[in-house]
Structure 1
Amino acid sequence: MTDLHTPRLAAWMDGAGLPGAGAPLRTRLLSGGTQNEIYEVARADFRAALRIPPAAAPPDRDRGILREWRIIAALDGTDVPHPPALAVCTDPAVLGRTFYLMGFVDGWSPMDHQKAWPDPFDGDIAARRGLALELAEGIALLSRVDWRGRGLGDLGRPDGFHDRQVERWTGFFERIRGRELDGMAAATTWLQAHRPLDFVPGIMHGDYQFANVMYRHGGPARLAAIVDWEMGTVGDPKLDLAWMLQGWPENTADPEPGAFAYVDMRHLPAREEVAAHYAAVSGRQVDDLDYYLVLAQWKLAIVLEQGFQRAGGDEKLLAFGPIVPELMRSAAELAESTGYRG
C-alpha cells in the first residue's frame, strides 16, 4: 500500500490550485490491488479520488496512469459519464509515483452489491431493466466521441486493429502455453477468415462490464461514471459491446451462471434488446455482432489462461482452470453456428 505523505500531497494540491488550502487533509483507501490503488482525499468541503500505482509496480505503470488521465481529461465536456479530471502529478518527489486526482463520484458500484441489487432495483423489475440499458448506453455515448478532436489521435492504432487482435493474442498464448485448449484452432481460423472489412474507429474502454461502472443512487437507473480506464485505446468500439455481452445469459428469467455471475442477471433485458439500444444510441449497426462475440470469448479465454498458468496456490486464479476451456469451446461453437464460412 502506498504511503500517502499528506504534507507533500497537501503542498502539491495547493500548487495545483485545488480547494481547501490550509484545512486538514484526510485520506482513506477505497480499493487496492496489483494494478492501481484508489484513495479518497478530502479537506474542508473538497472531496476527490486519487489513483496511483502500488509502490512496487513496474515503471510502465506510470505511463498507464498518464494514459488513463488523458482519456478522462479528453472526456470532460462530453455526455459520457466519467469521473471529472482534476489534476495530474508526474513528480515522484510528491508520492513516489505518477498519480492523478479525479472528482469523487457519488454513486454505487455493482461490485458492492453482488448478492442483491440495492433499492429500488432489487424489488422493481422494470427499474432493474434500466441498469442494463444504461450500461449499454455508456459505451454507445463513448463510441460517438470525436477522439481526434479531443486530442487522442495518437492513443491507439485503429488501422489494422482486427489483424493485430488475432496476431497479438495468439502470440501471447504461445508464450504462456501450458496446455491445449479445445476449439482454439477452429475459433482462431474462423476469426482470421471473418475480420470486418471496415469499421468506424472510436474510443474503447477495453474491459467494459458491470464491474467497471458506477450508478447514481435511487431510481430510475442512471449511470454515474465509467471507471478503470487502464485498457482504454482507440480501436473498434463494438468489441466493448461484445465484451459486455459475451457472458449475457440466453434466458434472463432464469439465467445460468456465466461471466456476469457476480451480479444478479435475473429479469434484465435480453441480449438482443441491449444490443439494439446500443445501436440506436451509437448509430452503429450490430448485424455482425457474432464476430465480435466470438472474438470477445476467444480473447477472454486467453486472458484468463494467463492467470491460471501463473496461479501457484492462488485459489481465485486456479478457479479459471475449468472456465477457460468452456469459454474457448463456446467461441468455437458460436463461430460454427453463424452459418457463414471462411
Structure 2
Amino acid sequence: MPKTAPAPVDVIASAVAAATGDNRWNSLDMNLVTGGKSNLTYFLESAAGTLVLRRPPTGDLLPSAHDMLREARVQSALAASDVPVPRIVLVDSGDLLGVPCYVMERVAGHVVRDHLPVGWADDAESRRAVAFGFVDTLADLHAVDHEAVGLGDYGRPSGFATRQVRRWTGQWEASRSQDVPEIDLLAQRLAESVPVQQRSTLVHGDYRLDNVVLDASTPGTINAVLDWELSTLGDPMTDVALLDLFWNGPADRPLSLIPGVSHLPGFPSREEMLQRYSARSGAALDDLDWYRAFAHFKFAVITQGVSARSRAGDMAGQDFGDLDAEVLHLGRTGLALL
C-alpha cells in the first residue's frame, strides 16, 4: 500500500469551514504536534482559533490499529459524562486524507510530558493534587455506564484479557525486527495464566499523564482526556496496571518513550496512587502481578511498533532512536513479575 501524505491544507480548510459554519477556517495553517508516537496530530490555526486534527501515521498500518473513527465515537459518547473530553467538530471516513481522520476542539491547559511548566505545580501540595486528580479521573471513567452513553456495543468484555494477549502477540509478530525470546516467552506465559475478570467497564487503553490536559489555574483539575485509540470495553485492571507502569518513582529506570514527571519531589508514590484508585473505585487491588506483566508486554509491543514506523519514515520525520534495549528490558521485567 503506498504511503499517504497529509491532505492539502485547502481541502481540510474547506471541510472545517463547512463543519463549523465559520468561513474564517477557509484560511488556516496546519502544523504537526511533535512527540506523538502512534497517530499524527496537527494544530489547525486560523483567525477563528485553534482546532486539532488526528490521523493515522503514513505507510502500512497494522490490522485494527490507528482507528480514528473509534476515537471520535467514544469522545462523542462521553461528552455528557463526568469524564472530560474534547468536543468533536468533524469526522471523515477517508475522503479528505485517503484515511479516516477527525477534527476536535483544542482544550486549554497543559499537556505535561518530561517537565512541568515554569511556575506551575511547583510545590508538593499542587503535585499531589495533579496526581490524585489524574487517578480519580481514571476511576470515574471506569464508573461510566457504557450502556447509558451508547457504547454498549463498543467491545466484548467477556474474554477480554485472553483476546488482548492474542491481539498484542499478533502485533508483535507483525512489527518485530529482531528475535527477542523474552517477549515470546512472556506472551506464552501470559496466555497460560489469564486471571478471572472481576469487572467489565470502559477502558482507555493508554492512560498516562501526557494523555490528559491539566488545568493551568487549578493543577488538580483534568480538562480533557485524550488519545482514545486503544479504548474498548474490558477489564479495568489493564488500565490500572498501565498507570502503575508509567508512574515511575525516583529509583525506577525511566521509559525512553514516556519520560514523565512522577519521579520529581512532591509527587505521590506508585503505592499511594493505587490506594487512591482503590478508595475511589471500590475495587480490590490485591493481585496485580499478571496485569503488571501484561502492561510490560503491551508496552514492549507498542515500543517496537514506534521503532518500526520511525525507521520506515512513517512518523512525519520524527526519529525516536534505537529502542531495542527498551523492548528487551520490558520483556525481562514482565517475566520477573510473573
Shared topology, TM-score over 0.5?
yes
Partner residue of 1:108?
Answer: 110
Q: Counterparts of 1:231 and 1:146 in 2: how far apart (Å)?
A: 19
Partner residue of 1:40?
Answer: 44
- Aligned-residue identity in percent: 29
Query: SS of the counterpart of 1:214?
Result: strand
1:257 aligns with 2:256: no
- Structure 1 counterpart of 2:163, one-letter code: R
CA contact (8 A) 2:201 2:234 kept: yes
CA contact (8 A) 2:204 2:231 kept: yes
Aligned residues: 324
CA-to-aligned-CA distance 1:77-124 (integer Å, 9 cap, x gap): 1111211123323361x555433221221011113xx24444232x31
1:148 aligns with 2:152: no
CA contact (8 A) 2:43 2:50 kept: no
Query: SS of the counterpart of 2:42?
Result: strand
Partner residue of 1:339?
Answer: none
- Structure 2 counterpart of 1:66, one-letter code: L
CA contact (8 A) 1:205 1:233 kept: yes
Partner residue of 1:178?
Answer: 178
Residue 67 of structure 1 and its aligned partner are, at CA, apart by: 1.1
Q: 1:19 to 1:298 in 2, by over 3 A?
A: same
Out of 54, 67, 74, the position equivalent to 2:77 is 74
Q: Counterparts of 1:59 and 1:325 in 2: how far apart (Å)?
A: 21
- Structure 1 counterpart of 2:39, one-letter code: Q
Structure 2 residue runs without a partner (length 5+): none
CA-to-aligned-CA distance 1:219-244 (integer Å, 9 cap, x gap): 33221211112222221122112112
| 1:185-196 equivalence runs, <5 A | 185=185, 187-188=186-187, 190-196=189-195
Q: 1:280 to 1:24 in 2, by over 3 A?
A: same
Which is greater in Rg? 1
Residue 188 of structure 1 and its aligned partner are, at CA, apart by: 4.5
Q: Which is further off, 51-60 or 152-161?
A: 51-60
Residue 307 of structure 1 and its aligned partner are, at CA, apart by: 4.9
- Structure 1 counterpart of 2:42, one-letter code: I
Q: 1:117 to 1:21 in 2, by over 3 A?
A: closer
- Structure 1 counterpart of 2:288, one-letter code: L
Residue 148 of structure 1 and its aligned partner are, at CA, apart by: 2.2
Query: SS of the counterpart of 1:76?
Result: helix
CA contact (8 A) 1:294 1:332 kept: yes
Query: SS of the counterpart of 1:100?
Result: strand
Query: SS of the counterpart of 2:102?
Result: strand
Q: Counterparts of 1:287 and 1:82 in 2: how far apart (Å)?
A: 31
CA contact (8 A) 1:55 1:96 kept: no
CA contact (8 A) 1:205 1:232 kept: yes
Residue 134 of structure 1 and its aligned partner are, at CA, apart by: 2.0
CA contact (8 A) 1:184 1:298 kept: no
CA contact (8 A) 1:204 1:237 kept: yes
CA contact (8 A) 2:85 2:223 kept: yes
Structure 1 residue runs without a partner (length 5+): 336-342
Q: 1:333 to 1:4 in 2, by over 3 A?
A: same
1:88 aligns with 2:91: yes
Query: SS of the counterpart of 1:207?
Result: coil
CA contact (8 A) 1:115 1:263 kept: yes
Partner residue of 1:282?
Answer: 281
CA-to-aligned-CA distance 1:117-139 (integer Å, 9 cap, x gap): 44232x31221122222221222
Q: Counterparts of 1:247 and 1:181 in 2: how far apart (Å)?
A: 24
| 1:303-314 equivalence runs, <5 A | 303-307=302-306
Partner residue of 1:124?
Answer: 123
Partner residue of 1:338?
Answer: none
RMSD between aligned residues = 3.3
Partner residue of 1:273?
Answer: 272
CA-to-aligned-CA distance 1:26-70 (integer Å, 9 cap, x gap): 3331416663232224444x5432323466665989981111110
CA-to-aligned-CA distance 1:298-338 (integer Å, 9 cap, x gap): 22223334555777599955532222222222222222xxx
Partner residue of 2:247?
Answer: 248
Partner residue of 1:233?
Answer: 232
Q: Counterparts of 1:23 and 1:322 in 2: how far apart (Å)?
A: 45
Q: TM-score, length-normalised on structure 2?
A: 0.81
Partner residue of 1:26?
Answer: 28
Partner residue of 1:322?
Answer: 325
CA contact (8 A) 1:117 1:264 kept: no
